[in-house]
Amino acid sequence: MHSVNSAFWHNKRILLTGHTGFKGGWLSLWLQKLGAQVTGVALAPNTQPNLFELAQVARGMDSHFCDIRDAQALARLVYDCQPEIVFHLAAQPLVRASYREPLATFASNVMGTAHLLDALRGLDTVRVAVMVTTDKVYRNLEQPWPYREDDALGGHDPYSASKAASELVIASYRDAFLQAQGVAVASARAGNVIGGGDWSEDRLIPDAVRAWQNGQVLEIRRPQAIRPWQHVLEPLHGYLRLAEQLWQQPELAGAYNFGPPTHEAATVRQVVEMARQAYGKEQAAVRYGDGSEGPHEAGWLALETAKSRTVLNIQPQWGLVEAVQRSIHWYQAQHTGANAQALCLAEIAAFEVASPRA
């Protein structure tokens, strides 16, 4: 399996949208560790606490607060950066929030993506754009097989629909403009990520940690929902490898799934029990619902990742049990005073030297 090529990333000019978010914060720290020149564009962090501030993500990069719905402001920042590689992670990323604010979700996820791609038109420095969407772009038939990159797109909830729509925008800009300009554009569809430093609402591990640290009972709405869980460093490693490959072979542009082996897709209940074990069961109370509460969410979702494995030569490093354990232990260490940036850099270092699982 190929690890990330640090020589490739040294002094590369990177534009990263969404650097104030959970995945964006981790990717910013990793790129900084690799010696890249990173410019970040995002809204200010929207949770307290948040990884961006705790891990001092901005210290090693050029950080800008900007709403990607503002096309002119975004275009100015893109032009000033003169990026060689773009990672687009900025989004409204939550299903339940999209039910509350559908128009804002579509504005960020569809038009925000279009604004960024349009800002790359005519920019002669850019060679690669990795546009991060989600595993939820597929029209979910609730069938027990994994989705492949050429399966039909769709979306019941506004979040999923907005991300599926952004895939069409990405493909259109690639085919109509950017491919001819010499820019390799890919979309990256990753499964559910876990790891330290996420304090978003309605996410399983953050909800568990919040409840247990406050001596409360964790309430689980849909214990039987199945998702392709993975540690946050798994897809980020995939995005980095994808960018490296597209730089060398732009003809590989297209859509890529990133997730665990299909048989490792697990129920919410299984992940919660792993988390309880890692946290200390005596302090980790749970109440499971019957799955009827709240708006519609997909029940079964898994990804076929053969394309990423074969084209990018990547394999999962950490199994689900280890991913959950590392996530819980990160929160526990941070809660008792450990430095968040040091915790992240230690995880990245451990990931870089890990052997892929057979």
Q: What is the pLDDT of residues 299-358, one digit of tens each?
A: 778 899 999 999 999 999 999 999 999 999 999 999 999 999 999 999 999 999 986 654
Rounded mean pLDDT, 252-266: 93
- The pLDDT, as a whole number, for residue 298 is 65
Rounded mean pLDDT, 91-108: 95
CB count in 10 Å sphere of residue 170:
24
Q: What is the pLDDT of residues 167-224, one digit of tens each?
A: 999 999 999 999 999 999 999 999 899 999 999 988 999 999 999 999 999 999 999 9
134, 136, 147, 117: which is closest to 235 by C-alpha? Answer: 134
pLDDT band at 290; cut points 50, 70, 90: confident
11 burial via Cβ count (<10 Å: 0-12, 13-18, 19+): exposed
- 1 or 89, which is more confident? 89
Domains of the chain, first to last: 9-352 (3.40.50.720)
Sequence-distant (6+) residues with CB within 8 A of 315 are 1, 309, 356, 357
- The pLDDT, as a whole number, for residue 303 is 93
